[in-house]
Amino acid sequence: MTSDNNIELHIPSIMGFEKIAMECSASVAKKMGFTQDRIEDLKTAVAEACLNAIEHGNKMDTNTKVGITLTVEESKLQVSVKDQGKGIDQILTPSIENKVGGKENPRGWGIFLIKSLMNEVSFEPSPEGGNIIKMIIYLEK
């Protein structure tokens, strides 16, 4: 694959910068012809993935970056979000056991949300350290 169809972005591990990745992804998706509904899904998934990378992967360390790579193909857009963390011990997913003091624990819904909004989602360790979440959204013609 040539790098012609790749867009790379690096944001600091500071809450709020995920909005840059969201807008960049939305611009690419719009150019590709995605519907507004699917663009909104993409923005939500990208924001959640970036926030997870900032908070859990990079532990809010402002000296670390989150790398976002958009890979444009004819019928799909892949977004990879990479942190520089040590790895995820366990990925929280919402469940009945996630209650804290009788109230629903708000933690762990990000990954659930990403999986429900995107067509394909995978998690893998990065060869140079850190974690990568790969999200694919298909262009429906």
> Distance between CA atoms of 114 and 54, rounded to whole angstroms?
16
> Distance between CA atoms of 82 and 58, rounded to whole angstroms?
10
Name, in order, each residue with C-beta under 8 angstroms of 33's C-beta and a sequence gap of 6 or more: 139
Q: Which pLDDT score is estimated for 111?
A: 92
> Distance between CA atoms of 135 and 33, rounded to whole angstroms?
18
Say which CATH class 3-138 falls into: alpha beta
Q: Which pLDDT score is estimated for 3?
A: 55
Q: Do residues 133 and 114 touch, judged by C-beta distance below 8 A?
A: yes
The amino acid occupying position 43 is: K
pTM across the whole model:
0.86
Rg of the Cα trace of the chain? 15
Reported for 120-124, long-range contacts at CB under 8 A and 24+ positions apart, including other chains, are: 123/88, 123/91
Tens digit of pLDDT for each residue in 16-65?
999 999 999 999 999 999 999 999 999 999 999 999 999 999 999 999 99
Q: Where are the alpha helices (DSSP H) in the chain?
A: 18-32, 36-52, 109-117
What is the band of 96 on the pLDDT scale with cuts at 50, 70, 90? Answer: very low
